[in-house]
Structure 1
Amino acid sequence: MLTTFIFDIRFWNTGDEVSTEFTLVNSSTFSSIKLGSDGVHQRYTLDERNHQLVAIWSAARDPCDNYGRCGPNSNCDVYTGSGFECTCLAGFQPKSLRDWSLRDGSGGCVRIQGTNTCGSGEGFIKIAGVKPPDASTARVNESLNLEGCKKECLNDCNCRAYTSANVNTGGSGCLSWYGDIMDIRTFAQGGQDLFVRVDAIILGSSIDVHLSTLLY
């Protein structure tokens, strides 16, 4: 994530699109972006003392920096220690077990057959410390807090997930996703909490695990 003392980071919702804007805190600071032939994207600032450009941010630094690395309805996490960064979201399974076994997650995941997430005691489980999904299938409601966002999403069977729209202001606004969820990744530090819709069985299992953790 970009160094926040160099940039002022703002979230915008125009009604037609949502975007994040990075503005230099000090307008006299020189900053440039370079895209190399190897696909690495780097941002530089000028070190005035040494008169040299210094790289302050780069991507892709790991496989999860590549868009859609693990396909839809999955999470890309290089910190699992399993040797494969792709995992399906709760309630989903690999679209192709063969591809998954070959460490190719690009086909993503599909809903487990027989699960019911509409009017059958469903709820949400939290995935902590992630980059929110591609917002092209998201809806924005700036007037809702996180609890209101949960209620709105729960009342619409097509809503797959939700999170706060702007964590910089303490978690204001509501982002909710409809259809496939694309391009989630886990960060070692930072990130947001994403709440993913699951059926009653998975929800009950996650509650049991949480209670066991508290008791022991």
Structure 2
Amino acid sequence: MLEIEAPPQLVLTIDILAVIVFAVSGALVASRKRLDMVGFMWLAVLTGVGGGTVRDLLLDVPVFWMVAPHHIIACLVTAGVVHFTAHLMESRYRLLLWFDALGLALVTVAGTAKGLDNGTGALVAVAMGVVTGTVGGIVRDLIGNEPSVILRREIYVTASGLGACTYVILAELALPALLAGAAGVLVTFTVRGLAITYNWSMPAYRHRPGRTLKEIEDLRK
């Protein structure tokens, strides 16, 4: 089991920061859809705690925001701030992508660390990191009727997976948890940021026509 060497207050602060960053991305979607304050709060909360909620349910541990309400409060405050300031941002969609990238990096590492802390193997811990990093964004896009980044060719899950793997490998090498976490965040954010900047994408499946009857008959000969 990985021991977190940072003070509990610092761990909680980083965790809440990750939730706030994702909540901002959810609230920005609400601004694009011109929702009311309740809509802002709803999307901020779903995006901020969605991935962590699914992770904790899969790990069969108490859901983090039900144990301590700090995260929900942070999401609600974030929604209120964005509601009154979103009009000051010239390109909200571009900003959304960058906030989402930062949120992805932070919660990926947080989810991976929690998997290791609860005694999972390396592969399951990586999966928990990816679930934590991507589910909130998926829910945000579905509720906000936005094109889901998970279903496009953009490098998103790949960035999360690479960051989670980085954290696990460095943790297994007995690197201090904070340094391993910083490296995981850096890898995830860098890969996702480069994909945003240069429009990188993974190779997509190319449809190929099926064999004709003659070709099938020739194969049987």
TM-score (norm 1): 0.22
Q: Which has the higher helix share?
A: 2
TM-score (norm 2): 0.21
Structure number with the bigger relative contact order (C-alpha 8 A, sep ≥ 6) is 2
